[in-house]
Structure 1
């Protein structure tokens, strides 16, 4: 993922948390906020509360990053570009990539539906 496609500092994360919409699913919580950067940007968190060992937290982050990457064509269907912060949930430790991808696509469908309601 290119450097410009990542949320890099705490200010960027905080803006998305405070001003973005929240979408909960079984495996993750997504905070989403429209941006003017011409591309979707991603930030991922996996706290020690979710996974005690660093190797587990890193796996969670890899799964979320890969699900986001594989959803590239579906992300293009949104009316705008967004900053995404994906927070891993503990249940993510027990699933494979296919389940993560399905869960993320469900969140994306809800966002797309909400875009239509709010006029984008």
Structure 2
């Protein structure tokens, strides 16, 4: 495995202030499974934050499964993503969706937000 596909601590949103900055001002991509927020950063690489609400996804196993899928998708797509902070929020439909459907949904979000960042 090469370092470019890793998921080090530097590629994560770690504190509330970083999440708040993304929630306060961001570009949004949404579908029936996820809402993905993006805000440009000055770090030089993409960073990920997860906001998988217990109110939306009741079962802990479903929340953990979604987090694993999102992290893996982000990890593999990170080299192509712009230098931005991403926050992924899950919708209730994601809890029961197949992995392939979720994977395609996330790929569309990454592509859509990358194009939006390039146009800006």
When normalised by structure 2's length, the TM-score is 0.84
Matches of residues 90-109 of structure 1 in structure 2 within 5 Å? Answer: 90-109=92-111
The TM-score, its normalising length taken from structure 1, stands at 0.84
**TM superposition shift of 1:7:** 0.3
How far 1:24 moved relative to its partner? 0.8
Question: Which residue of 6, 19, 23 maps to 1:17?
Answer: 23
d(CA) in 1 for partners of 2:43, 2:79: 18
Which deviates more from structure 2 when the two are superposed, residues 90-99 or residues 31-40? 90-99
RMSD after superposition? 1.6
Following TM superposition, the consecutive aligned residue runs of length 4 or more in structure 1 with deviations greater than 3 angstroms are none
The unaligned stretches of length 5 or more in structure 2 are 1-6
List alignment gaps of at least 5 residues for structure 1.
none
1:7 aligns with 2:9: no
Q: Does the C-alpha gap of structure 1 residues 67 and 59 become closer, same or farther in structure 2, counting only changes over 3 Å?
A: same
| Total equivalences in the alignment | 114
Q: Which residue of structure 2 lines up, in the alignment, with residue 83 of structure 1? A: 85
Q: Given the superposition, is the C-alpha separation of residues 5 and 112 from structure 1 closer, same or farther in structure 2, using an over 3 Å criterion?
A: closer
Measured in 2, the distance between the counterparts of 1:91 and 1:74 equals 27
